[in-house]
Amino acid sequence: MDTNVEKVHCLIIGSGPAGYTAAVYAARANMKPVLYQGIQPGGQLTITTEVENYPGYPDGIQGPEMMVHFEKQAARMGADIRYGLATKVDFSKKPFKVWIDEEKEMEADAVIIATGASAKWLGLESEQRLNGFGVSACAVCDGFFFRGKEVAIVGAGDTAAEEALYLSKLCTTVHMIIRRDTMRASKVMQERVQQTPNIKIYWNSETDEILGENKTEAVRIKNVKTGETQTVPISGFFVAIGHQPNSDIFKDFIDMDEAGYIKTIPGTSKTNVEGVFAAGDVQDKIYRQAVTAAGSGCMAALDAERYLSAIGHV
Ligand code: NDP
């Protein structure tokens, strides 16, 4: 046997709340899980600041610190946590094969996919520099910090509409920057946005630059039709132009929707391949919260445990 091939019962791919929670449950069920962390250990929460809506932290906690807690808990239960990126899979036969960093080959009886999703960004230098300093891709996570202040949001889909409405309840004014003269969001959401007095829409507009040295202070908005720019003072800048599920390497084997979100059988974490489960944002485009991801990670480990017992592996 090739020495670079390793066989495990349960392989978990991804290290956000879903992956680590799956690891806690799988380790406690004696499934000896091996978890590969991927390119961004700890996932999306490592690029946020304070988390105030995860139960169990009455005083809130910094996102990166919370993910250290998740990792420590999974390790203490006995999960084998490794740095490495899954680069290719073969789910056409059992045991399943997963290649790590294009070289190491893992064989697994059960696989839990918890690779998450990545927020799309505009690509501005100022957006990157001020990320976590007023710039955010999650209003539900960070909107609270801008209570009583003015904010801007970019995007015109259901997420942007939902987040603009959420922010309108906290903030004095929400400046909504929309690149065309129409919104992509569902009609009912569009109507709600347009009927909310403190949401000000800038049609045919793009973000020219976010201004501020160490914190967000203003946004320069450019009208693409007229070329005119205006500078609007704000404290928070939210990007809501969609997410990209990290599911590319699975597409030859796993059923997904047109955006690449993995389809699971409702009420379970089961994918179309028996023995392969999915949890967290890679299969959830609606809720996308740390707590819902953790909950679905638990479901995936329980589903995997039942599957492995049924085939006589645990
Ligand atoms: P969408 O892809 O639906 O919308 C993205 C929005 O961002 C579009 O308005 C798009 O503009 C805009 N956009 C993209 N790139 C840029 C850019 N570079 N600069 C400026 N604007 C940009 O993503 P969502 O996250 O809103 O939604 C994803 C899916 O999830 C959808 O199917 C949605 O319906 C669903 N969803 C459902 C919810 C619900 O049912 N409650 C809640 C949230 C999401 P343009 O229109 O010009 O392309």
Entry pTM: 0.78
> What is the pLDDT, as a whole number, of residue 3?
63
Domain 6-118+243-310 matching CATH 3.50.50.60: the answer reads yes
Say yes or no: CB of residue 160 within 6 Å of ligand 1: yes
CA of 228 to the centre of ligand 1 (A): 25
Please, what's the b/e burial string for 191-200 (b: 16 or more CB within 10 A of its CB; e: otherwise)? ebbeebeebe
> Who contacts 60 (Cβ-Cβ below 8 Å, separation ≥6)?
50, 51, 52
Beta bridge partners of 310: none
**Quick one: which H or E segment has residue 307?**
helix 290-310
**Gap from CA of 96 to ligand 1 centroid (Å):** 34
User: Which residue's structure tokens are 């990007």?
Assistant: 239
Ligand 1 lined by 260 (C-beta under 6 Å): no
Span 99-140, pLDDT tens digits = 999 999 999 999 999 999 998 999 999 999 999 999 999 898
Question: Where in the chain are all domains bearing CATH 3.50.50.60?
Answer: 6-118+243-310, 121-239
pLDDT in tens, 152-171: 999 999 889 999 999 999 99
Q: Is the CB of 176 under 6 A from ligand 1?
A: no
Does residue 10 carry a catalytic annotation?
Answer: no
Which stretches within 54-181 are classed as H helix?
A: 63-76, 125-129, 139-142, 158-168
The SS3 call for residue 173 is: strand
- The superfamily in CATH containing domain 121-239 is FAD/NAD(P)-binding domain (3.50.50.60)
Q: How far is the CA of 161 from the centre of ligand 1 (A)?
A: 9
Dihedral sign from CA coordinates of 187, 142, 177, 233: positive
Instruction: Choose the residue to mutate in 179, 182, 188, 284 for probing ligand 1, maximizing ligand atoms within 8 Å of C-beta.
Output: 179
* 65-84 confidence digits (pLDDT tens): 999 999 999 999 999 999 99
